[in-house]
Amino acid sequence: MGALPDVMQAVQLDAPGARVSVREVPVPKPGPGEVLVRMAASPINPSDLAFLMGAGPQKPFPAIPGIEGSGTVVAAGRGLLPRFLVGKRVACAAAPTSGGTWAEYMATPARRCVPLKRGVSLEQGAMLLVNPLTALAFFDIAKRGKHAAIVSTAAASALGRMIVRLGARHGVPIINIVRRQSHVELLHSMGAKYVLNTGDADFSAQLRTLAYQLNATLLLDALAGRQTAQLLRVAPAGSTVVVYGYLAREPSVIEATTFLYEEKELTGFYLPNWLAKKGLPQVLRDTSRVQQLAGTDLQTTVQRRVPLSAVQEALDLYQDNMTAGKVLLVANQSDVSNG
């Protein structure tokens, strides 16, 4: 594996809401049960933006942001699994309280690493855990709850597009909601049948009619705020509204009468909690499935690859046009180029 350096470049956040900077910091040492990953690439996800702004789960500061990525395991702490992973290309997730993926190296528990199958590149591997596993979880929820159809908001997102493709695969109608005409066209071009634009004057009536027609009783909400209240209002009796993001960054004001008479439910979804509740066999099945579908249904578009040193430019690019695809922070260009 060669000798490891003592120091590395890493993105650092000093406090919530501060500007990020790139600094030289010590390479972390893997503890018992952990591995050291030489990072190849890592996306910017909405949850990273939330973390930078001080929303959602926080870490001790100064912190290295980044929740998921890919790389090669170059050292192991005590334990069988860590030793097994040495030399392997992995998709990896950061631990909740230690350094994140936006660095040249990351120490993380071995169980947060998934060895990549031949044929899955380090680039796709970098975006293999958060959205793909969430997409599979949503279809599991739909199946278990016997929901005939699904309503999906912010549907032109990377995750929304996975929901479109999995809906087609499983024969589950998806009512997609977007806020721009260009996104209506984008989703139609992917084969989506039902796409509604929140900008239409009769949007609410269209959504109610379609949701009743298709019996869409599972409503997946990435926005929160006003959108959640509206979904509860128009959902068929007995529906479940699942809030899994808060892109709208505004509070929801919900009238009791919109849900109590027709026994509608409002619940939250957070992938780490979902995975923690699943047994190891299901998690292994799902991580294998996301790799099988990495090149098709669960593929993610990349709009730009940016070196770690240009993190601020990468953040600006992504926030200017999230729908154009993920901006990947590249920590090691030669590893990404070689696969």
Ligand X SMILES: NC(=O)c1ccc[n+]([C@@H]2O[C@H](COP(=O)([O-])OP(=O)(O)OC[C@H]3O[C@@H](n4cnc5c(N)ncnc54)[C@H](OP(=O)(O)O)[C@@H]3O)[C@@H](O)[C@H]2O)c1
Task: Kindly indicate which of the ranges 73-81, 268-276, 284-292, 330-338 contains the residues binding ligand X, using the contact rule CB under 6 A.
Answer: 268-276
Q: Least Å distance between CB 151 and ligand X?
A: 14
Instruction: Kindly tell me which residue out of 22, 84, 204, 269 binds ligand X, with binding defined by CB under 6 A.
Output: 269
Our CA angle for 286, 166, 162, nearest 5°, is 85
Answer for the pair 64, 12: CB distance below 8 angstroms, yes or no: yes
| 120 or 184: CB nearest ligand X | 184
Q: Determine which residue in the list 55, 248, 254, 310 makes contact with ligand X, applying CB under 6 A.
A: 248
Per CB under 6 A, does 223 bind ligand X?
A: yes
Tell me the closest approach of the beta carbon of residue 130 to ligand X, in angstroms. Answer: 5
The residue sitting closest to ligand X, measured at its beta carbon, is 245
List binders of ligand X among 299-328 (CB under 6 A). 321-323
Q: Which is nearer to ligand X, 85 or 154 (CB)?
A: 154
Give whichever of 180 and 188 is closer to ligand X, judged by the CB atom.
180
Q: Write down the least CB distance from residue 14 to ligand X, Å.
A: 23
Q: Tell me if 206 sits within 8 A of 200, measured CB to CB.
A: yes
Q: Give whichever of 76 and 177 is closer to ligand X, judged by the CB atom.
A: 177
Give the chain as a 3 state SS string: CCCCCCEEEEEEECCCCCCCEEEEEECCCCCCCEEEEEEEEEECCHHHHHHHHCCCCCCCCCECCCCEEEEEEEEECCCHHHHHHCCCEEEEECCCCCCCCCECEEEEEHHHEEECCCCCCHHHHCCCCHHHHHHHHHHHHHHHCCCCEEEECCCCCHHHHHHHHHHHHHCCCEEEEECCHHHHHHHHHCCCCEEEECCCCCHHHHHHHHHHHHCEEEEEECCCCHHHHHHHHHCCCCCEEEECCCCCCCCCCCCHHHCCCCCCEEEECCHHHHHHHCCHHHHHHHHHHHHHCCCCCCCCCEEEEEEHHHHHHHHHHHHHCHHHCEEEEECCHHHHHCC
Q: Stretches 31-39, 41-49, 112-120, 289-297: which one binds ligand X (CB under 6 A)?
A: 41-49
283 binds ligand X (CB under 6 A): no
Q: Does 157 bind ligand X (CB under 6 A)?
A: yes
Judged by beta carbon, residue 106 or residue 247, the one nearer ligand X is 247
How do strand 34-43 and strand 105-109 relate by DSSP bridges? antiparallel
- Residues 54-113 binding ligand X (CB under 6 A) are none
In the complex, the smallest distance separating the C-beta of residue 124 from ligand X, rounded to whole angstroms, is: 14
Q: Which of 94, 159, 163, 330 binds ligand X (CB under 6 A)?
A: 159
Using CB under 6 A as the binding rule, whether residue 154 contacts ligand X is answered as yes
Q: Whose Cβ is closer to ligand X: residue 190's or residue 271's?
A: 271
Nearer to ligand X, 52 or 322 (CB): 322
Member of 25, 93, 156, 195 binding ligand X (CB under 6 A): 156
Per CB under 6 A, does 150 bind ligand X? Answer: no
Decide if residue 247 touches ligand X (CB under 6 A). Answer: yes
Cβ closest to ligand X, residue 84 vs residue 270? 270
The residue among 153, 224, 237 whose CA lies nearest residue 187 is: 153
Lookup: tokens for 135: 């997409």
Site residues, ligand X (CB under 6 A): 45-47, 130-131, 134, 154, 156-159, 179-180, 222-223, 244-245, 247-248, 269-271, 321-323
